[in-house]
Structure formats: structure tokens, C-alpha cells
């Protein structure tokens, strides 16, 4: 199996799942900024969508979309209980989590990474994200992992996306259950930082969501828990941007 990944991106989730599963795989870097593979070729030729993760099976079949990929991985090793059995209510609860993490948290963080996002729109994004993180924190009360006492692939995904808080000024310090969860997941060998990807980050700092060369732990985020669950005045909502012209790959041409 091959996993196309980019350091720090959501592909860390299937990376963790593969390691938890104990499956043999080749990790191929497909950086989100360049879309250029280590041999110099164009990643778009393999995945026309250009994004990671992408899983390629030994027979050449491809599987895209993180939540589908991690469930496929879990189903290869049912004894490891990385996902409840297909067809059960519990499996639907896992899918509920994967969908929530994907659409509410993962996509909640995305505009904060996008340099084109208007500055005045970001507080609204952070406010919405803060509500979703507060919900997640509440759901984790008294639990080891999102599904209860057993680690599942949803935990690797939640760990992955909440790790991004450090890069975009979202302070997780108000979310004690979430932080305890992150420490728990970080202690699992499968969630150890990919070698070379985060040069100066200690395991403890990794769990706290800070301590990289980009975001030292001693720097407190200006965005506190209370602030990002507040609301935004309607006048702060930006007006619609002018229509964009897109090329055949969907890239902006003007
Ligand atoms: N719907 C996809 C989204 C994956 C995604 O957002 N990937 C980002 C990194 S976290 C990416 O590769 N971005 C680069 C690009 O879109 O070209 C999934 O859930 O797997």
C-alpha cells in the first residue's frame, strides 16, 4: 500500500491509522504547496484533485477521502478494533464522529490557513470553530477517546485536526478534556511526530499543540476560549467577492 501525504496535513490521520493497524505501507510525500512528488513528477497526474491523503492499494486501486481511507484501514485488521463492525449502530456513531471532524472541525480550520481569507472574516470562523471545539470537549468528559474507552480511527483524525490550532492562533487551553485526550493520543507510538517533519518539537509540546519552530509554547495565543465562543456583529461579515475565473484545474486565473 502507498499513502500519499503532506507533513502536518490531514494525511496524518491515515498515517496514524496505518501505524495503529500495523500494516506495511510506503509513505510518499506530496506537499500541498508544490504538488510535486519526490521524483519530480506532478501529483495531479495521480490524483486529479491534488489533495492528500490518497491510499493506493497494491493492485493499483485508489481510495480518497480521509474518513473512507481510515475505515478501510480499520477493516483490514478487525482484531485491533480500530472501528466497530460495519453495519452496527456503533459503526454509524464512528461515522458520525468522522463526518463531524471532517466537516465541522477540519473544514472549520481550513479558512484560517488560507491567506486569501479576509482578516475580518476570521473572527466569525474562529467563533464557529470554538463552538464545535467546546462541544467536542464536552463529549470527551469522562471518556478516554471519542467512542469511549477504546481508541478508534476517529481519535487519530481528531488529534490531527486539533493539532492545527497551534498554527492559526486558536488557544485550546480552555478545553481540559480535549487537551487530556490529545496527551493520551500523543502517548501512543503510532501518533509520534513523523521524523523530520517537526524538527524541534518535543513529544509533550506536540501533545499540547505547541512547541514547534513556528509556534513556541511560551507564546500565548491572543485568542482565548471566551473570545472565540462570542458572536460577531453583522457589519463585520464581508460582502461577497467578485466572481473569479477558474482554469480547467479550478485554479484562479485572475
Ligand atoms: N475531502 C478531503 C480533503 C483533504 C484535504 O483537505 N487535504 C488538504 C490537506 S489537509 C490538501 O491536500 N490540500 C492541498 C490541495 O488541496 O491542493 C479529505 O477529507 O480527505
Q: Could you tell me which residue, 198 or 189, shows the higher pLDDT?
A: 189
Residues of the chain with CATH 1.20.1050.10: 89-234
Q: 2-80, what's its fold?
A: Glutaredoxin (3.40.30)
Please determine, for residue 145, whether its predicted confidence score (pLDDT) is greater than 90.
Answer: yes
Give 51 Cα–ligand 1 centroid separation in angstroms. 4
Q: What pLDDT, on a 0 to 100 scale, did the predictor assign at position 146?
A: 98
Nearest to 186 by CA among 172, 174, 64, 91: 172
CB 91 within 8 A of CB 83: yes
For residue 107, the ligand 1 atom closest to its alpha carbon is: 6
Please determine, for residue 238, whether its predicted confidence score (pLDDT) is greater than 70.
Answer: no
Determine how many CB atoms are found less than 10 A away from the CB of residue 232.
16
| 3 touches ligand 1 (CB under 6 Å) | no
Q: Could you tell me which residue, 191 or 223, shows the higher pLDDT?
A: 191
Rounded to the nearest 5°, which phi and psi values hold at 69?
A: -60, -45
pLDDT, mean over the chain: 85
Quick: pLDDT tens for 131-144.
999 999 999 999 99
Quick: pLDDT tens for 43-92.
999 999 999 999 999 999 999 999 999 999 999 999 999 999 999 999 99
Averaged over 146-155, what is the pLDDT?
98
Which residues have C-beta within 8 Å of that of residue 115, sequence separation ≥ 6?
none
Which residue among 29, 51, 252 is best mutated to probe the pocket of ligand 1, counting the most ligand atoms within 8 A of its Cβ? 51
| 9 touches ligand 1 (CB under 6 Å) | yes
Ordered DSSP codes for 197-211: TSTT--HHHHHHT--
- Domain made up of 89-234: CATH architecture: Up-down Bundle (1.20)
Rg of the chain over Cα atoms, rounded to whole angstroms, equals 19
Helix residue ranges, H only, 5-148: 12-21, 66-76, 89-100, 107-113, 122-139
Residues of the chain with CATH 3.40.30.10: 2-80
| 31 touches ligand 1 (CB under 6 Å) | no
Amino acid at each position: 500500500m502507498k499513502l500519499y501525504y503532506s507533513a502536518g496535513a490531514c494525511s496524518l490521520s491515515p498515517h496514524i491509522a496505518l501505524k495503529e493497524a500495523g500494516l506495511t505501507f510506503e509513505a510518499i510525500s506530496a506537499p500541498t504547496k508544490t504538488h510535486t512528488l519526490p521524483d519530480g513528477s506532478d501529483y495531479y497526474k495521480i490524483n486529479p484533485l491534488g489533495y492528500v491523503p490518497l491510499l493506493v492499494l497494491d493492485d493499483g486501486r485508489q481510495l480518497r477521502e480521509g474518513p473512507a481511507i481510515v475505515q478501510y484501514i480499520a477493516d483490514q485488521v478487525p482484531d485491533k478494533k480500530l472501528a466497530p463492525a460495519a453495519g452496527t449502530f456503533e459503526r454509524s456513531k464512528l461515522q458520525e464522529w468522522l463526518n463531524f471532524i471532517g466537516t465541522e472541525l477540519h473544514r472549520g480550520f481550513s479558512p484560517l490557513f488560507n491567506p486569501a481569507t479576509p482578516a475580518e472574516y476570521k473572527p466569525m470562523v474562529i467563533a464557529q470553530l470554538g463552538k464545535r471545539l467546546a462541544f467536542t470537549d464536552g463529549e470527551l468528559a469522562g471518556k478516554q477517546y471519542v467512542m469511549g474507552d477504546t481508541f478508534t480511527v476517529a481519535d487519530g483524525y481528531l488529534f490531527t485536526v486539533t493539532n492545527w490550532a497551534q498554527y492559526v492562533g486558536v488557544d485550546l487551553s480552555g478545553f481540559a478534556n480535549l487537551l487530556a485526550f490529545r496527551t493520551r493520543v500523543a502517548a501512543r507510538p503510532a501518533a509520534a511526530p513523523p521524523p523530520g517533519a517537526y524538527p524541534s518539537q518535543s513529544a509533550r509540546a506536540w501533545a499540547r499543540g505547541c512547541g514547534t519552530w513556528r509556534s513556541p509554547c511560551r507564546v500565548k495565543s491572543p485568542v482565548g476560549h471566551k473570545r472565540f465562543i462570542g458572536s460577531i456583529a453583522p457589519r463585520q461579515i464581508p460582502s461577497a467577492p467578485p466572481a473569479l475565473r477558474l482554469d480547467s484545474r479550478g485554479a484562479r486565473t485572475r
